């Protein structure tokens, strides 16, 4: 059990209890040098539900508000697989960050910070826990940054944001499309719905390392020739050159693993996830998400948020709702997102949240790209 430093006087109605990752081949991409966390100063109160959650009031019915965006500084938020026991420790030193976990406890009904810091690993890795945990820890990282000298200036400079799968919800919260609380409720339901969809089918995911996307598609086609339609596979995550995640029925995944060497893949690694995310296997989760999104107030984001579904920013709230519902059954186009941002002039990126998976992916796409990690 980690010995924690004394808590600052709390402002929320509940105390953070003192008793209070999913394995992924993305870990292969983590850079070795962590960013130092220095010059922390605790702000009086959390500003995630005010500064982060106040969206633009500009009408965006045509969904073209950000069509000509020119990015310079980006906030990037991680997805499921980035979680690790011990994350969230820095939130104890920044009151605004700690308060987010306190608010999360009320919504989730359990001590999230305790699970993040102390585990157990198996529980933290579950879909229903890891998704809320990463969402809250990533927004807590925003508060950790804000508490640093010049941190607010960095936050003010951000003119585009996006997140990997689950991280898209975090990005939308940061951009003010919905409040911290509403975003957490959506993420909680998303994790539960995806877990239920996974339990209903025998499916899996595998990362294919060392091939380009065209070769991985050919590998999927070859595997699909050997299995029934219900076992078929597809590319689910277009991450970066040489790393693409494939989802589908277990027999289809096994066929991919068996044939990978003949396609000159360096290796395959089965992902420790609940099921075939970002494929039609997640279709049972869509209707639940649609209902929850329909009941959620979503505003036009104050800055562009790049969608996983089509690698484009959207400003119309109704379009954003449709995109988020589609996201769980659609491939994640992260490689296109990053190359587009860099091509449009992106100069500096910050990865906010647990791990350094995104930093590794960015460097695989462009070794010269500038990115810094801000943990919590």
* CA separation for the pair 134, 217 (Å, rounded): 30
Of these residues, 138, 165, 307, 349, which one is catalytic?
Answer: 165
The tokens for 131 are 């998704």
Residues 6+ apart with CB under 8 A from 360: 26, 28, 29, 30, 31
Q: Cβ distance 178 to 321 under 8 Å? A: no
Q: Which domains does the chain have, with CATH numbers?
A: 73-200+279-374 (3.40.366.10), 203-271 (3.30.70.250)
- Interior CA angle at 157 toward 79 and 90, to 5°? 50
Between CA 273 and CA 25 the distance in angstroms is 12
pLDDT tens-place string over residues 301-351: 999 999 999 999 999 999 999 999 999 999 999 999 999 999 999 999 999
Query: What whole-number distance in Å separates Cα of residue 24 and Cα of residue 80?
Result: 9
Asked if the peptide bond before residue 197 counts as cis, ω within 30 degrees of 0, the response is no
Tokens linked to 369: 């790209």
- Mark whether 213 is an active-site residue: no
| Contact predicate 163/78, CB 8 Å | yes
Closest CA to 303 of 166, 173, 165, 161: 161
Catalytic residue (one of 138, 247, 278, 315): 278
pLDDT, tens digit only, all 376 positions of the chain: 333 433 433 333 333 333 333 333 333 333 333 333 333 333 323 344 333 333 443 444 579 999 999 999 999 999 999 999 999 999 999 999 999 999 999 999 999 999 999 999 999 999 999 999 999 999 999 999 999 999 999 999 999 999 999 999 999 999 999 999 999 999 999 999 999 999 999 999 999 999 999 999 999 999 999 999 999 999 999 999 999 999 999 999 999 999 999 999 999 999 988 999 999 999 999 999 999 999 999 999 999 999 999 999 999 999 999 999 999 999 999 999 999 999 999 999 999 999 999 999 999 999 999 999 999 9
| Active-site residue, 333 included | no
Q: Which residue from 350, 352, 353, 347 is spatially nearest to 368, judged by alpha carbons? A: 347
Residue corresponding to tokens 């460097």: 363
CA distance 210 to 12: 49
Task: Give tens-digit pLDDT for 225-277.
Answer: 999 999 999 999 999 999 999 999 999 999 999 999 999 999 999 998 899 99
């Amino acid at each position: 059990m980690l010995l924690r430093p004394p808590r600052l006087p709390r402002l929320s109605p509940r105390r953070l209890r003192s008793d209070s990752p999913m394995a992924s081949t993305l870990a292969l991409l983590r850079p070795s040098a962590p960013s130092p966390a220095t010059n922390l100063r605790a702000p009086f109160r959390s500003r995630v539900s005010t500064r982060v959650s106040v969206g633009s009031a500009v009408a965006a019915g045509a969904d073209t508000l950000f069509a000509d965006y020119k990015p310079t500084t980006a906030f990037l938020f991680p997805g499921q697989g980035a979680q690790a026991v011990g994350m969230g420790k820095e939130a104890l030193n920044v009151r605004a960050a700690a308060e987010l976990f306190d608010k999360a406890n009320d919504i989730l009904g359990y001590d999230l910070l305790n699970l993040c810091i102390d585990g157990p690993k198996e529980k933290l890795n579950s879909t229903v826990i890891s998704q809320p945990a990463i969402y809250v820890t990533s927004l807590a990282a925003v508060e950790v940054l804000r508490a640093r000298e010049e941190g607010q200036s960095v936050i003010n400079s951000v003119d585009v944001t996006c997140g990997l799968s689950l991280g898209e919800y975090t990005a939308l919260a940061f951009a003010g499309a919905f409040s911290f609380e509403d975003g957490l409720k959506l993420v909680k339901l998303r994790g539960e719905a995806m877990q239920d969809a996974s339990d209903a089918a025998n499916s899996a995911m595998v990362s294919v390392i060392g091939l380009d996307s065209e070769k991985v598609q050919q590998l999927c086609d070859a595997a699909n020739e050997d299995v029934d339609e219900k076992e078929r596979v597809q590319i689910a995550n277009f991450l970066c050159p040489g790393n693409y995640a494939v989802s589908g029925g277990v027999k289809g995944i096994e066929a991919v693993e068996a044939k990978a060497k003949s396609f000159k893949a360096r290796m395959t690694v089965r992902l420790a996830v609940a099921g075939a995310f970002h494929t039609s296997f997640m279709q049972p989760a869509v209707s639940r998400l649609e209902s929850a999104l329909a009941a959620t107030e979503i505003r036009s984001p104050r800055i562009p948020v790049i969608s996983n579904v089509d690698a484009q920013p959207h400003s119309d709230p109704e379009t954003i709702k449709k995109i988020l519902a589609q996201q769980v059954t659609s491939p994640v186009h992260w490689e296109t997102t990053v190359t587009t941002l860099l091509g449009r002039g992106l100069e500096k990126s910050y990865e906010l949240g647990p791990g350094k998976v995104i930093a590794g992916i960015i460097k695989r796409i462009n070794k010269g790209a500038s990115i810094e990690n801000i943990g919590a």
